[in-house]
Structure 1
Amino acid sequence: MTTTMPDRELPRTEPLDPAAIVEESVRLLLDRYVFPDVAAELAVLLRERLAAGAYRTQEPAELAERVTADLQSVNGDRHLRLIHHETPVPEGEGAATLALMRRRFDASLGGVPRLELLEGGVAVLELGPAFFPVDWAAETFGPALALASRAEALVLDLRGNRGGDPDTVAFVCSYLLDERTHLNTMHWREGGRTLTAESWSLPYVPGPRFGGSKPLYVLTGPGTFSAAEECAYDLQQLGRAVIVGEPSGGGAHPREGYTVHPNLEVSVSTGRAVNPVSGTNWEGTGVQPDVPVPAAEALDRAVELARERLTALSSS
């Protein structure tokens, strides 16, 4: 006896209107992209490609791939993308990104998958897969950093952290410094205007700090991106941490997302980071490690360095 199973109902997608999506992407670029001259160049390129039929498809994933390739063809900005979402996402500025971040937060122990004290007083703290919005992250990051404050040395693992909220970067750095410190300056573009905002570590954190003097090592790799790169870069430029691993992904421009179709989100870089020490950032180059090793070996190497440093300190 055989039973005929009903066809599985697949998620429905709204019919694509590539022309409308491209035109809305152009409008957002011209209004919000941090580099107006590049935005104008990209506007011409996307409209030329649209007229040539390059975006003629009814597959959202295919359209996203084609448009993203063109968006990144001028200056290689990896935050500049048309993102395809398998599951329909909410409308509104930042709504798609926030919904995805919430799912990842709930599935990752609040972004603290590992906190461990190793032999010799070396703690390992992994933060990932993102620097979640600070009003969420404080719930988990704060207690984890407070616990790690008891260690003699700390290894902060950001190899799988894809970025997130710059305010969370300041929150994390606040536990790793002794006093209020200028971390970064952001130059934002909004409605054709340029706005400037400085980022500082906090004068107060809930719980004890690890502080600004004990040995600190930060692990990076190709999977370290955006706000996670800022955390590593800020601490490196301040001379606070030793970076161990491989160069990071190279995305220094904070971005905002705009839903332009139930399954498509335009990601536009709306800001530019300028470090107060270096006067520049890690865009395109990534954060360069002080101790270059394959990312897979970075933890073992950092723990080895931490133990060597603690031994040297105890004998001095």
Structure 2
Amino acid sequence: MREVDVGTEPTILVTGVNGQVGYELLRSLQGLGRVVACDRSMLDLSDLERVRSVVRELKPTIIVNPAAYTAVDKAETDIDAARRMNADVPRVFAEEAARSGATLIHYSTDYVFDGTKDGAYAETDPTNPQNVYGLTKLEGEQAIAATGCAHLILRTSWVYGRRGKNFLLTMLKLAEERSELRVVADQVGAPTWANTIAASTAHIVAQGLASRDDDWWRSRSGIYHLASGGETSWCGFAQAIFSIAKNGAGPAVIPIPASDYPVPAARPGNSRLSTRKVSEAFGLHLPTWDEALRLCLAA
């Protein structure tokens, strides 16, 4: 493990720091405590007993866990690996948090819903995942809640950034190779910049640490939706990327129905998430998806 900021307590353990959200978290959380960064080479999350021993050794005040199995289509046949990362690992972190009195911040997904609702999903809406990825993420949520630890589960959607594998980087790459792209236009959601997620998390952590009260975390424990404002389709997202990054000179974007782009894992047609609860609880002002995209591309 690599200690990024050596100082006094609190200790903040961050997993998945080479991923797009973890990478941003590592920067956003600086100055809030002793940040201990774990990547795969430092902590093999598939070794659950090792996870337990590391948490007990470090005695973190807060565990921030963005690590996940996110290969949505591959998960359909790699079920055990997806469940280990998305359900078993969060359960172990939560059990250890409950044992030690730490707080767990964990990230989930819009894919816990089936996408049939007419309007934005609230945290209280029934879940009904349509693919293995969504199912295992839901199992992780349930496992965390069952331990009784102080926790925040932050559901987000359509995450992108300037590193890793995501829709933004795929579109920018394809723009150099093709003059025309066919992109799904009947799935709707809010693209969410990884930096928005990390900055919002840091905002919440700062409030919790400033309170110096364990009951602050426990009284706010639960599920929150954390995503950009507004909505668009994958097609609209692609068009916006080229409009901003290429000044409109990118490839032609042809809208198609999801049925014309078959993939192993079903995706929800509606991924819109209501963020009223997180905004009211923590005073967050979340940018619209297009505002955040401009900031990301300008970075």
Alignment TM-score > 0.5, same fold: no
The two structures have a TM-score, normalised by structure 2, of 0.30
Higher helix share: 2
Larger radius of gyration: 1
The two structures have a TM-score, normalised by structure 1, of 0.29
